[in-house]
Structure 1
Amino acid sequence: MTVDVGAELPWLFLDVDGPLNPFAGMPHDCPPGYRSYRLMPPSWEKAERERLSAWGRQQLAPVPLPVWLNPTHGALLAALPFRLAWASTWGEEANAFISPLLGLPPLPCIEWSAPRRARAGGLLWKTPELVAWAGGCSFAWLDDEVSDADRAWVTEHHAGPALLHYVNPQLGLQSDDFEALRQWADSHS
């Protein structure tokens, strides 16, 4: 998708696992309002086949990925004064598998060129590419891995306003997260 940098609304960059899928709470009970899904994105199926093969069990079928999603989050996100975009390792698979379950249209998706790696100097590997993709536009970012190192890097390397909002990966998005986004958007409009 083409990015319209001339639009006035800030971006809201969405990570899937953690903010939308509170995976860290598994295998306990699904949080209130969330539903359990079993999904088989092609990247997950490939990774599962590689794991099974490495274990000498290539005859077994890959097991679908357990995902918890709150179907009301799509409408709540769409109602915020932001342009939504995926900032997740799900990539375009978020449009195929997550958007329909949340009632969202296909969203622009950050295509990561950096290899997924451990933090370099405390900086999350996504941070520089996300800032480059934003191109100076205001943005908020929901992720379960943002840290003070990411905030400091964004402050130094991004000209526009930015909110890096941590979401607890055991709970996923909660009403206070939506309120923080609304307040930030109101103060930066």
Structure 2
Amino acid sequence: MARLPLVAMLVLFTVAAAAPDCRSSKFPPDRAFQRCSTLPALGASLYWTYNPVNATADIAFRAPQRSGGWVAWGINTGRGLGMVGSGVIVASQEDTGAVSVLTTVLESYSPSLTNGSLGFDVPVPPVAEYAGGAYTIYVTVALPGNSTVQNTVWQAGPGSTGAIRPHPTSGQNLQSMQRIDFLAGQSIMPSNSGIP
């Protein structure tokens, strides 16, 4: 009986040791972040520096993906955790190989993906890059409601600019949401999950 807890502890330690750690990520010299969070789904990580003087956060979102796919990160300003109502930044590659950025609000589970505003202020326009099998989105955000705690969402799926196809609605794609305290540097796990 005493062996079972020891075995369970070893399994948990092994899983934790195998998980990617956001602290090992590298960025260009002109991009530095004070905090990071290894997100619980899709191999993604979030990096940020909170600026209390103007209540903004300099953010980098990084997620692995094939060059023929897309990734997205955003904030849901009013509907809690979930994709509908979120202002998101989508990064994908064009046919030329250039990385493009789409900013949009997801108005439903079948969004139009019309390029527009995010529903919150973005003092510096977002940019993205693709390197080493991962997309990285860089953006400065004026935290909505002047609150350091935000409902964040992220996703990954197939397709590219002009032909972004829906993401899977199972597995990790249903777990891609988390509350982040940008001041305290803490991730707050959701109590339940639904279709993001």
Same fold (TM over 0.5): no
Bigger strand share: 2
Bigger helix share: 1
TM-score, normalised on structure 2?
A: 0.26
Which structure carries more relative contact order (alpha carbon 8 Å, separation 6+)? 1
